[in-house]
Amino acid sequence: MEEDSVLRLEGVKKLFSYKNAQGGKAAKVAVDDISLEIKDGEIFGLLGPNGAGKTTIIRMLTMLAKPSAGNIYYGQLNIRDDSQKIKELIGVVPQHINFDQDLTVGENMHLHGRLHHMPEKERVKCIGEMLEFVELSGRINDSVRALSGGMKRRLLIVRALMHKPSILFLDEPTVALDPQVRRRIWDLIRKMHRSGVTVVLTTHYIEEAENLCDRVAIINSGKLIALDTPKALQEKIGSYAVEWDNEKAEREFKIFRSKEAAKDFADGLVQQNVLRRRSNLEDVFVELTGRKVNG
């Protein structure tokens, strides 16, 4: 284990049982023998298509699901033996909005603080600071129902920060948000990161992973197929791409190591809508798996 590692997965697997067409027992492998380490103070991304296993990994890391095999460590703490201590270290922002819709913004925050045994004076102070941090101070007495989607996302994040966790898990933090609101959430994640919080997030938005993550683990069909910085992953397959429409009007692309090679290839194409560009993480994913990230 690296000295600056705060979280370690060793051979983690997750199986889900179901009945097959013959009525017998069968098992689906959702996470398949994943080992990796997350470093202190980094923004670490789990990137992959829907159904790749990202949310299942987060559920195991946050003890909402038990691994079928393998071990998960927070420093020297093991989730099998030290779950209560670990829960004090982590904050969780789920993919789906899970506020009590019958309570106000402030009441939802107070409820979360009570669940973490925060004294009332500390709760009141913390709620004021958190709501000011996300520019929602004026909405403390409003019903959660009255908030926009972006406001609810920001509130979810600061609610998870109330007990001052050292590691924050974000499961698809900007799903279904428009681009402008998504970028505001990115700014909020960067602010938390600068304050010393280690961030682990899942996403299938390429731009999100490229803009936020120090390192990215690419997950496909439950397997870890690549792990590195976004820049290093792109450089491994080539930094330049050429796109074009084939005879079936389908979009194709090819990756090149040098700008000159990409230009020479593009200049020789007779197809329509030829585009030269820098490669991105989606190119990496397609090259490794043959699948689109949002597939």
Same domain, 153 and 207: yes
Same domain, 174 and 253: no
Same domain, 71 and 171: yes
Same domain, 173 and 246: no
Domain that holds residue 28: 5-232
Same domain, 267 and 146: no
In 43-76, which positions are buried (b, 16+ CB within 10 angstroms) versus exposed (e)?
Answer: bbbbbbbeebbbbbbbbbbbbebebbebebbbbe
Give percent above pLDDT 70 in the chain: 97
With cut-offs at 50, 70 and 90, classify the pLDDT of residue 295.
Answer: very low
Same domain, 163 and 246: no
Q: Is residue 285 part of a domain?
A: no
With cut-offs at 50, 70 and 90, classify the pLDDT of residue 294.
Answer: low
Distances (CA, A) of 244 to 47, 125, 207, 263: 26, 57, 21, 13
Same domain, 222 and 188: yes
Give the pLDDT of residue 27: 87
Same domain, 224 and 245: no
Same domain, 62 and 124: yes
The tokens for 162 are: 């109330």
Domains: count for the chain = 2
Q: Can you give the pTM of this predicted structure?
A: 0.88
> Over the stretch 134-178, which tens digit does the pLDDT of each residue have?
899 999 999 999 999 999 999 999 999 999 999 999 999 988 888
Same domain, 227 and 248: no
Same domain, 21 and 159: yes
> Over the stretch 171-203, which tens digit does the pLDDT of each residue have?
999 888 888 888 889 999 999 899 999 999 998
Which candidate, 204, 160, 171, places its Cα nearest to that of 49?
204
Query: In whole numbers, what is the pLDDT of the chain averaged over residues?
Result: 91
Q: Is residue 292 part of a domain?
A: no
Same domain, 191 and 263: no
pLDDT at 3 over 70: no
> Over the stretch 256-275, which tens digit does the pLDDT of each residue have?
999 999 999 999 998 778 99
